[in-house]
Amino acid sequence: MLLDGNSLTYRAFYALPTDMATASGQVTNAVFGFTSMFIYMVKDQQPDAVVVAFDRPEPTFRHEADPLYKAQREAAPDILRQQMGLVREVLAALNITVLELAGWEADDILATLAEQAKQQGHDAIIVTGDRDSYQLVHDPHVKVMYNRRGVSDYALYDEAGIAEKTGVTPALYPQYAALRGDPSDNLEGVPGVGEKTAAKLLNQYGSLDGIFAHVDEQTPKLRGSLIEHEQRARHNFEMMTLRRDAPVTVDFGTLTVEPNDVEVKRLFDFLEFRALHDRLYEALATFGIGAAAAGAGPSSSAEVLEAEVSDVLDVAAAAELIAGQTTLDAIPAWSGDAGRSDVIGLAVVTDADSAEVAWLPAQVVHAPQVLEAFGAHRGWRGHNAKALMRWLLDQGGAVPGLRLDTAIAAYLIDPADTRYALRDLLARYTRFQLPDDGSAAKGQLDFGGGPDERQVAARGALAVAHLSAALEASLDKQGMAALYATIENPLVGVLAKMEHVGIAVDVAELTKLNERLTADVERLGAVLQEVVGRPFNINSPIQLREILYTERGLAPGKKTKTGFSTDAATLEKLRDEWPEFIDPLLQYREVEKLRGTYGTGLLAEVAPDGRIHATFNQTVARTGRLSSDQPNLH
């Protein structure tokens, strides 16, 4: 994996608030963001090795060719330049190879390394926020993982992806960019030639030479602009073409990531990256870094939380208990899926310091007096609180005032993480840990003897009580307290109401749509079987491979773990070789997907009230947008 150090650090700096700082005042938003990016990329791509390239401050050969190159860029803010050194310290502590060359940009170093990797038969993924890297993509060995925004929103491009994104192949990208221009590099394009026109011209004429050789075929306005600015386009092409001959050589077989555990801990303690430390070492397992070195698992010095549970069986006493709590830390236990099944009890913390928790069983929780008291409370703290809100609305009750949802708060603090369970958050942000319940905690079969729902809910409520202060402090420290209070927290209640009310469905119209799609699927299936001359399972990749590559003898494309691919990108490349089969196959897949998603899929989710009650998720999409399931309504 080849990382553009400057590009990613800049992206991280501008993605996160600059008031992220240590107690001593050291701003850490860029180094925190870069480290989060690194963790995400390693976990997501699981590379064998990592190299990071940086720009140097000296002018490059491009500055010599054009003194105005990047001349419009303002100097990096001091608080960003300071953190560049911290990013390098993180990389040094991890013993990651770092390359830089006077007179060369990081892009050219990455281009050279990608070319060397390709020639040696290695696969390389270039991670950057610079579109110039698109030209380096070369199937099957070189891909680009482009940072679109933030610290965890990436797109992984192969040749088909670049063509879909830009309208041209990676090989044509420098000429496409030359026509379009690049304001970030102070390189103006040809007036009147935007991205669509540039792609159209290059696909029609094949190159800048071809375009200018046929300039008289263009409209008068475009012809005049091309003639007047031909030299500009050719100059841009020279400037935008990445060099693949930088004087660097890497032995890919010997690259390693070997963290200095002591230095990593010292640096992360200084940066106050407590949450990142464990996540980092989990990611480093990709490189064979063991759990012992990682310090994985709960700390032996952490205090184990165990609740002292007392039952409250009197309805009036339960209602009075809820109303009497200034802050209500409460967690439900469910008979099935959270929010979609019945509550079998509610655990309420009565004294966090002494671990005292009250248990309200189902018959008490269902009592109108208790529902009224809970709905009237204005200081509830919970975990994944929306599910209980939805249940309360389904019971005809009111939604309590939510002070903090620990899952939403943790997501806002670090959206690049994927672990927001109470057990993980408690160990990450506090000196406490939940008990290890043996086989169940380890993901093994549970043959009984573990804690019951009552005890689990009580521990959860106690965890919320101890975790909330740490999360609220972290929100405040990262400048996100207002964002949480004004956007994310109120949204929990809004989504609960949306789930409760549901989305109205015209069942009759949806049934007609499903019938039309089913008829199209059957028609296309018959066409495909007629072309092949025998029945076969159209949805079987194994049978499709047999038909395409063995019987028909088409040249296979990329190979997956289970054999040669039959995905859409591969079929598109083979389309012209057997259009009478591949065209209806692509149509079949599209229609079958529509039928499964919007036909039979949606009909199966319609509730007796004629509405679809999906679940909306705030902590799934890394970009911050909402997602939904049961069903997916996007």
pLDDT at 535: 95
pLDDT band per the 50, 70, 90 thresholds, residue 559? low
Whether 568 and 436 map to the same domain: the answer is no
pLDDT at 544: 93
pLDDT band per the 50, 70, 90 thresholds, residue 19? confident
Q: Return the bridge partners of 330, or none.
A: 348
Amino acid at 408: I
How many other C-beta atoms can be found within 10 angstroms of the C-beta atom of residue 628? 18
Domain range for 434 = 303-501
Query: What's the total number of domains in the chain?
Result: 3
Q: Which of 477, 501, 525 is the C-terminal boundary of a domain? A: 501
Give the domain CATH number at 583.
Answer: 1.20.1060.10
Over 50: is that where the pLDDT of 439 sits?
A: no
Residue 40 lies in a domain: yes
Give the domain CATH number at 328.
Answer: 3.30.420.10
Give the domain CATH number at 140.
Answer: 3.40.50.1010
Whether 461 and 479 map to the same domain: the answer is yes
Residue 599 lies in a domain: yes
Which ranges of 217-314 does DSSP label H, i.e. alpha helix? Answer: 220-228, 230-240, 261-271, 274-283, 291-294
Whether 587 and 475 map to the same domain: the answer is no
Over 70: is that where the pLDDT of 152 sits?
A: yes
Residue 79 lies in a domain: yes
36-94 confidence digits (pLDDT tens): 999 999 998 999 999 999 998 888 888 888 888 888 777 788 899 889 999 999 999 99
Whether 557 and 469 map to the same domain: the answer is no
Residue 431 lies in a domain: yes
Whether 324 and 472 map to the same domain: the answer is yes
103-117, 312-326, 449-463, 574-588, range with the lowest pLDDT: 449-463
pLDDT band per the 50, 70, 90 thresholds, residue 295? very low
Whether 537 and 410 map to the same domain: the answer is no
- What's the mean pLDDT in 576-588? 94
pLDDT at 623: 56
Residue 467 lies in a domain: yes
More confident residue, 293 or 262: 262
Q: Is 5 exposed, middle or buried (0-12, 13-18, 19+ CB in 10 A)?
A: buried
Residue 223 lies in a domain: no
Residue 452 lies in a domain: yes
Q: Is 581 exposed, middle or buried (0-12, 13-18, 19+ CB in 10 A)?
A: buried
Whether 438 and 543 map to the same domain: the answer is no
Q: Please spell the DSSP secondary structure of 257-282, one letter per residue.
A: ----HHHHHHHHHHHT-HHHHHHHHH
pLDDT at 441: 42
pLDDT band per the 50, 70, 90 thresholds, residue 301? low
Q: Which of 132, 167, 202 is the C-terminal boundary of a domain? A: 167
Whether 497 and 514 map to the same domain: the answer is no
- What's the mean pLDDT in 389-404? 96
Whether 493 and 579 map to the same domain: the answer is no
Give residue 90's Cα distance to chain centre.
23
Whether 369 and 513 map to the same domain: the answer is no
Whether 515 and 497 map to the same domain: the answer is no
Q: Return the bridge partners of 181, or none.
A: 188
Average pLDDT over the chain, rounded to an integer:
90
Q: Which of 501, 524, 552 is the C-terminal boundary of a domain? A: 501
Rounded to whole angstroms, the Cα distance separating 584 from 603 reads 26
Percent residues over pLDDT 90 in the chain: 69
Over 70: is that where the pLDDT of 300 sits?
A: no
Residue 438 lies in a domain: yes
Whether 496 and 516 map to the same domain: the answer is no
